[in-house]
């Protein structure tokens, strides 16, 4: 991010395994679905199907009531630094979006429990797949594909980032998994862990490693505060 051209960045963040400490969708499938979901998962890992087809086929294997699903979701741990990070981006007026192949039902319930920013809880800054429970069946819908997406993503993160990005603003992405591999190519600064970190290493993509949101906040805070201070100093001196 060049100091001369710097403006406030836009922050995009994955959810499963990034905001939460485990992948919620995997937990749902492991505990509440027919074991055949694992065969579908391997097709996705091998690149034979996209994440949209993968989730469509996996979620029809789930048999659970809303009560059972909610109990599982409510036991999922959240990164202890996530709430502070939400305050951090809000205090600095940084646009912040959660982009996920995972499900709005899950994400909103977790965010409500965490007490984070109202816009995220209400879905205004949330782009994810949709899930509704009818009886003991999970019904899915995928409202965020992108025209021309070649990868069959449940949520085309790269497309969302292009659509919501302001063109001139730096784009930051925070993620952990293979479902984030297309998003990182649209970012100016990537924070990566777990499988996404390995993907970036294997493909020569620059990234900042992190273990928790406290790491991201520390690194991003230095960058944002330093560059904002430089901009304000230049404005005070009448330098454009």
pLDDT for residue 144: 87
CA atoms within 13 A on the CB side of 185: 11
Cβ atoms of 160 and 127 closer than 8 Å: yes
CATH number for the segment(s) 6-21+79-130+143-236: 3.40.50.1000
SS3 content of the chain, % helix, strand, coil (to 5): 45, 20, 35
Q: Give the span between the Cα atoms of 208 and 189, in whole angstroms.
A: 8
* End-to-end CA, the chain: 17
Q: What is the DSSP letter of 81?
A: T
Q: What is the pTM of this model?
A: 0.89
Instruction: Show pLDDT as tens, one digit a residue, over the chain (240 residues).
Output: 444 445 789 999 999 999 999 999 999 999 999 999 999 999 999 999 999 999 999 999 999 999 999 999 999 999 999 999 999 999 998 999 999 999 999 999 999 988 886 767 666 699 999 999 999 999 999 998 766 778 999 999 999 999 887 676 899 999 999 999 999 999 999 999 999 999 999 999 999 999 999 999 999 998 887 665 544 444 444 545
pLDDT for residue 225: 73
CA atoms within 13 A on the CB side of 132: 4
Q: What is the DSSP letter of 8?
A: P
Cβ atoms of 138 and 64 closer than 8 Å: yes
pLDDT for residue 218: 96
pLDDT for residue 123: 60
Residue 79: C-alpha distances to residues 22, 82, 87, 88 (Å): 9, 5, 14, 15
CA atoms within 13 A on the CB side of 182: 21
Cβ atoms of 117 and 42 closer than 8 Å: no
* Angle CA 12–83–117, to nearest 5: 70
pLDDT for residue 3: 46
Cβ atoms of 89 and 213 closer than 8 Å: no
Any idea of the CA torsion for 68, 71, 73, 77, to the nearest 10 degrees?
-150
Q: 10 Å Cβ neighbour count for 96?
A: 23
Q: Where are the domains of the chain?
A: 6-21+79-130+143-236
Q: Give the span between the Cα atoms of 6 and 103, in whole angstroms.
A: 34
Residue matched to tokens 């949520």: 155
Residue 32: C-alpha distances to residues 65, 77, 163 (Å): 10, 18, 35
């Amino acid at each position: 991010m060049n100091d001369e051209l710097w403006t406030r960045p836009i922050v995009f963040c994955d959810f499963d395994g990034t905001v939460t400490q485990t992948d919620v969708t995997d937990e749902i499938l492991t505990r509440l679905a027919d074991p055949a979901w694992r065969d579908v998962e391997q097709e996705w890992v091998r690149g034979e199907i996209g994440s949209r087809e993968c989730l469509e086929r996996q979620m029809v294997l789930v048999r659970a009531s809303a009560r059972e699903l909610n109990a599982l979701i409510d036991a999922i741990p959240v990164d202890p630094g996530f709430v502070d990070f939400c305050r951090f981006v809000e205090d600095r007026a940084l646009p912040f979006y959660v982009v996920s192949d995972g499900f709005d039902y899950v994400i909103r319930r977790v965010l409500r429990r965490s007490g984070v920013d109202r816009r995220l809880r209400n879905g205004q800054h949330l782009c994810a797949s949709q899930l509704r429970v009818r009886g003991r069946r999970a019904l899915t819908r995928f409202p965020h594909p992108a025209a021309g997406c070649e990868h069959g993503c449940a949520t085309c993160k790269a497309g969302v980032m292009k659509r919501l990005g302001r063109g001139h603003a730096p784009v930051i992405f925070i993620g952990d998994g293979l479902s984030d591999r297309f998003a990182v190519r649209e970012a100016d600064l990537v924070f990566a862990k777990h499988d996404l970190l390995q993907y970036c290493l294997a493909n020569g993509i620059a990234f900042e490693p992190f273990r928790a949101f406290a790491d991201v906040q520390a690194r991003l805070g230095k960058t944002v505060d330093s560059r904002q201070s430089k901009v304000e100093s230049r404005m005070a001196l009448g330098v454009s």
